[in-house]
Amino acid sequence: MSDDGAIRVLVVDDQDLVRSGFKAILGTYDGIEIVGEARNGAEAVAEAQRLRPDVVLMDIRMPEKNGIEACRDITSNPLLAKTRVLVLTTFDIDEYVYDALGAGASGFLLKDADPDEIAAAIRVVADGDALIQPKVMRRLVETFVAARPRAGWGSAEAADGRRAALASLTDREREILLLVARGLSNDEIGAELFISPATVKTHLARIMAKTDAHDRAQLVVFAYETGLVTPAPRA
């Protein structure tokens, strides 16, 4: 955050007009400050390291280094542990949403989103939560996980690691992870299990540590990858 508490945002897109548009739009909102821009993934990583923004608004399809690779570089950098990546996607044609989650993205923003949605998405991600609503995230993840064969989810070693992480969870932690994957908020999980939202938050922190999840969005992916939750049958 800046000295006045504003959310510091880095805008990344290979189209000058798109970057200018986002800068003009976001500049009208209180509490959001555009601190820099980049035209490709390589520039995005360099600028993120230099500026340490709270949120990176990241396009996917770019030259030199795409948004997925840049996202992975940013989220895996210990010096950028407080930086969140919000991926720009057309969704109806992009097939990289799941890859973005796997790379550590905190959520997605449709390129045709209206200004209020853009500002709200940035605020949600800056707060460390998954983008917009858990139910929306669940539907996005379910769509892409259902389209991927389980064999395509990484090496056998990675799969063994996920199974071991799942086995390390307590019964209560599994129960909470299942409810997260189904799209329930902390308040809803607390009401379901007759515990306080603060207790839910404590459990979530432990689950994230055990599963090496960057945020709530990656917990949803983990639940699907391990088979704890299975995608709904397609019509």
The tens digit of pLDDT for each residue in 24-75 reads: 999 899 999 999 999 999 999 999 999 999 999 999 889 889 999 999 999 9
| Mean pLDDT value across residues 224-229 | 85
| Mean pLDDT value across residues 122-139 | 69
User: What pLDDT does 229 receive?
Assistant: 82
Q: Where are the beta strands (DSSP E) in 100-143?
A: 107-110
| Residue 136, pLDDT above cutoff 60 | no
| Phi-psi label, residue 50: left if phi above 0, alpha if psi -120 to 50, beta otherwise | alpha
Helix (H) or strand (E) holding 223: helix 216-225
| Residue 214, pLDDT above cutoff 90 | no
User: What pLDDT does 56 receive?
Assistant: 96
User: What pLDDT does 202 receive?
Assistant: 94
Residues contacting residue 49 through CB under 8 Å, at least 6 positions apart: 77, 79, 80
Domains located in the chain, CATH noted: 7-132 (3.40.50.2300), 155-225 (1.10.10.10)
| Mean pLDDT value across residues 112-130 | 82
| Mean pLDDT value across residues 111-140 | 74
CA angle (186 as vertex; 203, 183 as ends), nearest 5: 105
Q: How far apart are CA 84 and CA 214, in angstroms?
A: 9
| Mean pLDDT value across residues 10-31 | 92
| Residue 209, pLDDT above cutoff 60 | yes
Question: Is this structure's pTM higher than 0.85?
Answer: no
**Three-state DSSP class for 94?**
coil
User: What pLDDT does 139 receive?
Assistant: 64
| Residue 188, pLDDT above cutoff 90 | no
| Residue 151, pLDDT above cutoff 50 | no
pLDDT tens digits, one per residue of 94-106 = 566 667 777 888 8
| Residue 117, pLDDT above cutoff 90 | no
pLDDT band at 217 (very low <50, low <70, confident <90, very high): confident
| Residue 148, pLDDT above cutoff 90 | no
User: What pLDDT does 186 receive?
Assistant: 84
Q: How far apart are CA 156 and CA 163, in angstroms?
A: 11
| Residue 150, pLDDT above cutoff 70 | no
- Map tokens 């379910």 to a residue: 142
Q: How far apart are CA 153 and CA 127, in angstroms?
A: 29
User: What pLDDT does 196 receive?
Assistant: 94
